[in-house]
Structure 1
Amino acid sequence: MEVFDTQVRLLKMVEEIDDHAIILLDKLGNIQTWNRGAQKIKGYHAEYIIGKNFRIFYSEADRCLDLPTRLLNEAEITGKVYHEGWRYRQDGSQFWGSVTITATHDENGNLTGFAKITRDLTQRMQAETTIRRHVQELESQNKELEQFVYIASHDLQEPLVNVNSFVELLQQEYAEQFDETATMYLDVISQCTGRMRNLIKSLLDYSRLGRQKSLTTVDCQQLVETITKDLTINIASTGAKIQSTDLPTLVAYPVELRQLFQNLIGNALKFKRPSATPEIRISAKRYNHGWQFAVRDNGIGIDPAFKDKIFLIFKRLHGQDTYEGNGIGLAHCRKIIDMHGGELKVDSIPGKGSTFIFTIPDAHHQSQ
């Protein structure tokens, strides 16, 4: 009696479930039970559908391919089968259903029928389709943008080369005929074309950043030590002190990570206070799903009003005559951190220094 009561309660519970269509089929696929979820998802009432074959839910194309029979045969052989595809409601509308069919047996192991559970995943499928379409559109737009940048940059460089060449010819062949003012004008033209060519090259470098990226294991301590050696002359001329200890080994994009550290260290050396010896400290600590790095300096600092603007491409806070550069280094840094799925920010006090803080998630979190 207790077993019978339990079975009755379970049957009533299944009947009340409204977010899954849970039905029992006989060995031929004829419908024996019909719960509230089945009526909600498929639209049929129990008195109409019970006794009919579950093939009614499949498209004519699927029935021609004998998909319903093949699913039952596979469930009988393997015990369970899963399938996703378009299914039909009573009103003829379609929904994307996930179907699990499980074979049922009696106490002697003989097949008695099948339990079929269906979920309506139309919204999930539509969302995934939308995401895939957007990704394809973005990829197409990125390719078009890269092509545009390359063509525009190439076309821009040719006239600049010509201008610069003719300026050099004027300076060489007519130098004696120019007064100081004319010579100054030519020097300005030459400097401007040079800066323009550097800007175009920087734009090309920015567009190509990460194009052929590949994850690999990177020893950050060794990487910083190598960069420090490469900057020996600059460090010696400024008397800078660079400290970095116990930096981690992690999975990252090695070329881009090197450029990140080199840009941040190079900026710390460039934007030093005239009266202070540059001091740069690089540290890292573990956080939930990756590493947080800090590159701290005692340089000129950054006005709080410009904390976000400094990461924009070609954004400069100082004149060319004060600090050289194209204003693209920190834009590179932001793009590199975005590639790794991390975040980059700066804390700074004008006249006292800046701390650039960035995170690099573990590799399996970067891919999510």
Structure 2
Amino acid sequence: MFLAIWMFIVPTVSDVTVVVRTEAGVELSSNLVSLSQEELVLMESGQRRSLPVPEVARLSFLAESIGSPSNTPGDFPQLETQVTLIDGTRFKAAEFESDGATSTFAIHDSFSIELPTNLIQNVQLAKLTDTQQARWQAICEKTASADIVGLLRPEGTLEPIEGMISAVTADAVRFKFSGQTIDVPRSKIGGIRTFTAQQASVSRVLAVVEDALGNRWPTTSVDWNEDQSSLAIKLPCDWSVAIPLSLTSTIDFQIGRSVYLTTITPLSRTSGLDLPFNQQVPGLLGVFAPHVYSYRAPDSRREVPSIRFDGTGTSVYRIPSGYRRLTGHVVLAPQSSQFIPCRAIVLLDNRPVWEAVLSTANTLNAVDVAVQAEQRLELHVESKSPLNIGDSVIWIGLKLEK
């Protein structure tokens, strides 16, 4: 239950101040009149000015003009429940309950959403260790034929159990397996994976809306006018969400013109782990291979979709048509003051085109590489550890840009 209570005031059109950055690099500070997927209407010196959305790069709301003490993510409570929808949308919530058919997420006192459970891919309920997180990622990536509950074992492992989830309350998950129904305490569950035969929508993303809690909402349409207290958006899975204007931080229209590499399924992933025995270990690749990771800088609450390597490894992709550059950062992120230097390499069609020796911890190295459609893109990390494992290397926010 949220303890923080804010007083929100529904602003009038003359009060809503935004900072607009255009694709040409021009910044405008004006009052917002209306917004749709076609145009942005501003009020400047008593005159209306319209901008086509394709000419807008970013729209930022000034906190004091939308009735919020702050719309900066760092000024709000930490949210623990992490939700992933079937279209790839990810957000965090404070509370989560479900009757089986419908699920409700309370994100803030003034912001909650209700949606069909079959639109949910998974919900992470607990803070996991790095090993548990990698295991959970592997569970979420595999093909499922039933609901899955990830049980937290006393020895620190995460064990998947298949069955059917019929309800989720504040205290327990009602779960049926092997012919019996039990209520599993939520304190013993790392996460749940829901089974659905419904296919995810592939609707084009227009923009990404960031709320004051740090959530980033991909949207295929956006709508607001002076009579509304909420920003109306539609997710790629064709579900509508109303974000209170007082909790709206920014709208990034450039996201619709680029794509995170994490949204592209790898052609292959390998781990350089060299175990001192000759046998296959079930789930080993899911634990040690490169995997999707939510990176957050120490001074920020915003999480950036990233790819994490734990020692030597590779992750290979095929460049889709329409994209010309790969941009982002890579960082050595050791768990202690002692670490092993690594080498990060970007290869195109098996040819190295960018590399950096990562010998200083937590130092960002910018990545900017020209790419072409259908090229074979490989991210490669080399470690000097005898077993090819060691310190974490994180490729932060890699994006393909048009």
Normalising by structure 1, what TM-score?
A: 0.21
Larger radius of gyration between Structure 1 and Structure 2: 1
Answer 1 or 2: higher relative contact order, Cα 8 Å, separation at least 6: 2
